[in-house]
Structure 1
Amino acid sequence: MTTKFDHLFAAAVPRIANGTHQRDELPREGGRWPISVVLRPSPDSTLAHTLDALTQEAAELAGPGHWQTGRLGAAHLTVRALEPRRENIPPDDPAVARYLSALQRATARSTWPVGFRVTGLTLTPGSVMACAEPLDAAADAFSDHLTTELGPDAWFEPERRDIWYLNLLHFTTDIADPSPLINWVATHRTTPIGTTLIPTPDLVRSTHHPGPRPHMHPIPVPA
C-alpha cells in the first residue's frame, strides 16, 4: 500500500535533484517555528541516539549549513503548532497561560506513555524525515483531547495532523551533490529505526543554535 510518506518521497526527489528544494530561513516574527505542543524522545533513549547518528549522516551527505533538527535533545514529534511565531513572549502572556491550562487538561484525559515505532526515512521538499507510527491509539487520542481543550485556541491548526514524524534535517541552502543523499534515504525508506515511549508532552518554542551542528532547539514555554 502506498503511504503519504511514499508520496512525499516521490514529490521531493525531483526538487532536491534539480536544486528547487525548500530552504528554511532564520526564524522571524509571524513565520515558522512558533509555540507548539511536541512529544520528545528521552535524550537517554536508544532511539534518540540512533536518530542523532542518522542526522549526522544526512548532514554529511547534504553538506554544511543545514539544520540538524534530529540531533540529540532536539528531535521531536509535533502534535500541533498553536500560532504564528512571536519573537517576544512576556512572562505573563495570557495566550500561553491558556495553552498550558489546555495542555494540562488534555494530558490528564490521556493515557501515558504514548509510544511510536519509527519505520524508516523519507524526503520532503524541505527536509529529511523519519517516519513514525503510533504503537496504539493513545497518540491520536491525545491530539484530539488537545484540540477539544484548546477550544478557540485551536484555530491555527484546526485539524489533526495525518502523519507522525521527526524531521532529521531541514534544508537551508544548496545541496552540492544531491544524488548521494537521495540514494541514502532511498535505501533507508523501510529500515526499522526503533521505538520510543514518551511519558509527557511539552509546550515549546524553538531558538536557533549555530555552530558545527546548527539546529532549531526546542525550549519549554514559559522560559
Structure 2
Amino acid sequence: MSDFAEFRAKGRATLLAGRATYDVPMVEGALRWGAAAVLRPEGAVVDRMTELAATVDAPGHWVHGGRTLHVTLRSLEPYRTRVPEDDPLRRGYGAALAEAVDGLPPARVRLAGVHPHQGGVLVGAHPEDDTLDTVRKRFAHALESRGIRDLEHGRVRDLWYVSLVHFAAPLTNARELVAWCDAHADADFGTAELRTAEIVQFVLTGGRIHVVPWERAAF
C-alpha cells in the first residue's frame, strides 16, 4: 500500500490538527454529489467492508455500506434534483460510457487499507490490471468527442478508492477516529472484479446516501 502512504500521513495530520471538512445535504446546483460514473463491487468484499464500516464511531456522519460502496470513475455535473430519462446529458453520459468499456475485460482491484482523510474515511483500491486506467482515458475521450464537459476538467485520478465515511458535520472525535483507522490500516478485504460501469445519481434519505443507477455498461 505504498501508493497510499503519503495520502494516509497527510490525512492523519489534517484530522488531528482539527482541519476536517464536511459535506452538507445536496441542493440544486451544488458541485458535490452530482451525477457520476462509478463502478460498484459485489460479493464478499462488499460484505466485509460493510461490516467494518458499521463499527466506526461516527454519529451524525454518512457511513456507507452495501450497494452504496463504489469506485468513482469520473464526477460529471453539479447536483440536479430531477433528471428525466430522455435528458440529453444523461443519454450522452450513457453512450460515452458504453463506448469506453466496449471490448474490455472486467477490472480487478484489491480493496485494502483503511485511510483517514480531510473529509472522511476510505479503503484503498489497488488495480491488478490496466482496465481502470484504460476506461478512464477512453471515457474522457468519449465525453470530449460528444462535446460534453465534466467537473474534473482534465484531472487524472492517481489513487482509486472506496469511501466508507463522509463527514456530514464538524468532527468531534478526531483522535478516536484516527485510532480506529490505525487499527485497520492493514485490513485486506480481498479482490473485487468490477463487471459493470454505471452512470448514477446520489440521494440522501434518512441520513444515508443511496445510489440510484441511470445507465449501465457491462465489460
Question: What is the aligned length?
Answer: 211
Matched, 1:6 2:2: no
Q: Which of residues 60, 65, 88 is equivalent to 1:65?
A: 60
Structure 2 distance, partners of 1:2, 1:198, is 23
TM-score (norm 1): 0.87
Q: Structure 1 stretches (4+) deviating beyond 3 angstroms?
A: none
AA of the residue aligned to 1:13: R
Q: Deviations over 1:164-185 (max 9, x none)?
A: 1000000112343322221121
Name the counterpart of 2:195. Answer: 199
Contact 1:19 1:174 in 2 (8 A): no
Name the counterpart of 2:51. Answer: 53
Structure (1 or 2) with the greater strand fraction? 2
Structure 2 distance, partners of 1:90, 1:65, is 32
Question: Which structure 1 segments of 5+ residues have no match?
Answer: none
Percentage of matched positions with identical amino acids:
29
AA of the residue aligned to 1:79: L
Structure 2 distance, partners of 1:6, 1:50, is 23
Per the alignment, in what secondary structure is the counterpart of residue 10 of structure 1?
helix
TM-score (norm 2): 0.89
Contact 1:112 1:200 in 2 (8 A): no
Q: Deviations over 1:79-132 (max 9, x none)?
A: 0011111122233211111111111111214x2211100121111100101011
Q: Deviations over 1:138-177 (max 9, x none)?
A: 1111111111111132442223311110000001123433
AA of the residue aligned to 2:47: H
Matched, 1:162 2:158: yes
Structure 1 distance, partners of 2:23, 2:105, is 33
Matched, 1:112 2:105: yes
Question: Which structure 2 segments of 5+ residues have no match?
Answer: none
Matched, 1:89 2:89: no
